[in-house]
Amino acid sequence: MPEALDRAGLTLEAVSIHVDGAPLLDIDCHIPPGNILTIMGESGSGKSSLLDFIAGFLKPALHAEGRIFLNGKNLTDLPAQERHIGLMFQSPLLFPHMSVMQNLMFAIPARVRGRQHRKEIARQALEDVGLNGFGDRDPATLSGGQQTRVALMRTLLAQPMALLLDEPFSSLDQARRAEVRELVFCQARKNDLPVLLVTHDEEDALAAGGLVHFLDNHKNNNGCSKVQQPQISIAKR
Amino acid sequence: MPKSTGRPDIATVLVTILLAGPVLAGLAGTILPAFGYLPVLGYRTFSIEPFRALFNMPGIQISILLSFGTGLVASILSLAIVLLFTAGWSGTRTFVRLTRFLSPLLSVPHAAAAIGLAFLIAPSGFLVRLLSPWATGWTRPPDLLILNDQAGIAMTLGLVAKEVPFLFLMTLAALNRPHIRDFYKSGASLGYGRMSTFIKVILPQIYPLIRLPMLAVIAYATSVVDVAHLLGPTTPPPLAPRLIGWMNDPDLSKRLMASAGALLQLFVSGVSLIVYLLLERGVTLWLKSRFESGHRRRQDAAARQAGLWAMSIVVALMTVSIVLLVVWTTAKSWWFPDVLPQRWSLARMMDSFGTGGPALLATLLLAISAAGIATALTLWVLEGRGFRKKPRHGWLNTYIFLPLLLPQISFLFGLQTLFLGADLSGTMEAVLLAHLIFVFPYAFLALSDPWNRLDPQYAKAAASIGASRARIFWQVQLPLLLRPVLVTFAVAAAVSVGQYLPTLMIGAGRVVTVTTESVALASGGNRQVAALYALLQLVIPLSGFVLAALLPSLVFRNRAAMRLER
């Protein structure tokens, strides 16, 4: 599909993932810059495998077909570190051996020169998410919501061209959840990034406001996970 | 659930006495003679005469330098190979494949590895045979000092071949923790190359777990006796093997000097540890300054290749060495420069089995009892700590690992004198105790991590339905940990089989194991028999590891969750 080449945004072209020959999921979609596509499905429906495939971490046991384009560039065969795709996980995964500031400076590209300059950028990023003065803190002393906010800024400071969110709000309590979610979506729109959000929370999907894909899971649930039944992704709403 | 009283429990106290007791008593028994006090032999006045005699020995400075240099270089080189390889390949198929090769190599005792390596690189060894006479023109073994070379290169190589599998498995164990895979992903998604991610993100998190084994490697390598005997320089030898010579000298007054030498060895190993810690500090500071720079180093193919090559060479050296052990045991005549023996025979092997029977029996007996006691004690200590995650007493860890951080020779001298005084020298019990001092720390090292990672909810769930602590231990925790417990037992048995110096010194020639015997035979030049004994050394731990791998699969064959995830 040559038209994919000219499109800005993240394109998944006829992507299908198989486990031991049995199809796990199929998806074909396009996410324009600044838009959010939400993917919903039960655990085991292959959500994480899809993210792994897009980010370049597909496990050797899985087999994937189809192509990924980001702003017209084919990423399918590039190693993860060359894809410029930011990833947020279920847990914030701040590096425990670095300070909050170091975590952020770690992400700023090396072409941004000058220690003071880099530090200023990181400081500004903290201010943007309301964490002024947290730079010298040990990440472990931050609350869950604060850690997620730092993780968000760390992801964005690396200047990604797309954002994958793997249930990053699931570890937050109800009160913080909406607030942090709004912040993440707002930052993504501000940076004009195509966003793919994986979640099993309806509220996340509603808040994202974009299209929703449902990954259906038809496997017979007797605890035996070896045999995967084919499943179809369709239903947009 | 045990209450946190702040007081150590019985198991902890017992283990501390068992380990620290002999070590401290042994140290005292070394220090006193070093200063001229050894009443058994009639020396009752303190003096520094033993030290004066020691420093007057010819070539003593060279011996010191050799111990320091070979030990430190071999340790750092081993760690570098392991980290370079892990950084470049962790998580790949290549990594998994080489891991399968490296794990069994851990069970090869030092002496067996050194004997095999000697068969490989000696002037009449396999490598030269491969090239002779067509490439080298040699029709008889060249007069080259490849083994026992003056600079200790062969000895360093022998130590590296043995320490790489050990440090590698320690690194593997350290990598086996939650979120490591996700940390790799987050490094890569931020644009960092594979090696950069490992060095800046993963290594700082896992290094604390590798550090202690690394220090133990340095303490061991700077004071090693068996490998030095087999591969090290002879004119003069490194410090530790020289001390053994003086200790066994018919002139009993040399014992004072040997004791002074043991203290010197303590000092040399101590300095090596300090030098390493300073290097470590420097590297850490340098690395910390790089966290903020943002350099991604995505083009790391060359470094990755280097890591793969280095690791493959070590694995190949070890594998070929072991194959050579097998070939030599079955060779009847194998003249230079033939690549393979002219005549094969199993008769000699059968003969040796007959004469080696008692040594094999003693080795087995020691290995099984030492491993059994050490594993049981470890379980006792860990269970005593209850469901808490953090060890309650930081100092306990220091005591447990103390025997690994001191050169064996520094307290074995004193311990030997003490056992002599108590008329225990040369008994199985005394040798068993000496083995336990070194076996227990490894058992603890092997089991404490799996134990701490066991989900405490299992025990809580059992307790909530009224199970007693004993029932929780026997029916829940122990079965869940069957695999690591058996692995621990195998590791402990392997460590016991590998003990050369403790057997030699405390056994006083009356308790002989295949390990002490193989070193003696190899120095005596009897290749066939030495090869057989070296092979026997490796068969015992290997069968232990095979059992540890098979038994759980058999017991839990209908339990999917108990299978190894990989």
Give B-chain residues touching A111 at CB under 8 angstroms.
Answer: 294
d(CA B538, CA B23): 28
Provide, as residue numbers in chain A, all residues whose Cβ is less than 8 Å from the Cβ of B93. 60
Strands A162-166 and A195-199: parallel
- The ranges assigned to domains in chain A are 2-92+160-236
Confidence check: pLDDT of A43 > 80: no
pLDDT at B391 over 80: no
Q: Is the pLDDT of residue B311 over 60?
A: yes
Specify the CATH superfamily of domain A2-92+160-236.
P-loop containing nucleotide triphosphate hydrolases (3.40.50.300)
**Of A14-18, A210-214, B461-465, where does the model show the most confidence?**
A14-18
- The CATH number of whichever domain residue B362 belongs to comes to 1.10.3720.10
Buried b (16+ CB within 10 A) or exposed e, A196-213: bbbbeeeebbebbebbbb
How many CB atoms within 10 Å of residue B301?
12
| Dihedrals phi, psi of B150, to nearest 5 degrees | -60, -35
* Per-residue pLDDT band at B386 (split at 50, 70, 90): low
pLDDT of amino acid B163: 94
- Sign (positive/negative) of CA torsion B179, B183, B186, B188? negative
Q: Model confidence at A1, in pLDDT bands (50, 70, 90)?
A: very low
Q: What percent of chain B has pLDDT above 90?
A: 49
Distance (Å, rounded) from C-alpha B259 to C-alpha B409?
9
- Has residue B545 been placed in a domain? yes
Regarding predicted confidence, which is higher, B528 or A155?
A155
Residue B526: the pLDDT is 80
Cβ neighbors of A141 (< 8 A, separation 6 or more) are none
**Six token digits for residue A200:** 């099993």
Distance CA B490, CA A101 (A): 46
H or E segment to which residue B231 belongs? helix B226-231
Least confident of A29-33, A112-116, B45-49, B550-554: B550-554
Q: B200 contacts in A (CB within 8 Å)?
A: 106
pLDDT given for residue B3 in this prediction: 44
Distance from the Cα of B186 to chain A's closest Cα (Å) equals 7
Q: How many structural domains are present in chain B?
A: 1
A87 touches chain B (CB under 8 A): yes
pLDDT band at A45 (very low <50, low <70, confident <90, very high): confident
Residues 202-241 of chain B whose Cβ lies under 8 A from any Cβ of chain A: 204-205
- Of the candidates A57, A87, A95, the beta carbon closest to that of B201 is on A95
Chain B from 149 to 188: CB within 8 A of any A CB: 179, 182-183, 185-188
Count the alpha carbons within 13 Å of A152 in the hemisphere toward its beta carbon: 28
Strand partners, A62: A19
Range of the domain at B524: 1-34+346-566
CA distance B231 to B158: 7
Closest Cα in chain A, distance from residue B97 (Å): 14
Q: Which residues of A touch B187 (CB under 8 A)?
A: 81
pLDDT band at A33 (very low <50, low <70, confident <90, very high): very high
pLDDT of residue B421: 84
CA distance B221 to B265: 12
Tell me what the mean pLDDT of segment B216-234 comes to. Answer: 94
pLDDT of residue A237: 33
Q: Which of A81, A93, A117, A123 to mutate to test the interface with B (most CBs of B within 10 A)?
A: A81
pLDDT band at B346 (very low <50, low <70, confident <90, very high): confident
- Mean pLDDT lowest among A155-164, B182-191, B541-550: B541-550
**What proportion of chain B, given as a percentage, has pLDDT over 70?**
96
Does the beta-carbon distance from B185 to A87 stay under 8 Å?
Answer: yes
- Average of per-residue pLDDT across B281-287: 95
What is the sign, positive or negative, of the torsion defined by CA atoms of B548, B551, B555, B561?
A: positive
Coil/strand/helix, residue A68: strand
How far is the alpha carbon of A84 from chain B, nearest alpha carbon, in Å? Answer: 7
Token look-up 């006083």 returns B508
Would an 8 Å CB–CB cutoff place B193 in contact with chain A? yes
For the record, the structure tokens of B145 come out as 């000092």
Give the containing element (helix H, strand E) for B37: strand B37-38
> Between A171 and B190, whose confidence is greater?
B190
**Distance from C-alpha of A225 to C-alpha of B4, rounded to nearest angstrom:** 42
d(CA B560, nearest CA chain A) in Å: 10
Strands (E) across B313-456 are located at 331-333, 343-344
Tens digits of residue pLDDT in B54-104 = 999 999 999 999 999 999 999 999 999 999 999 999 888 889 888 888 877
Question: For residue range B2-11, what is the model confidence (pLDDT) as tens digits?
Answer: 444 456 678 8
Residue pointed to by tokens 């847990």 = A91
- Domain contains B153: no
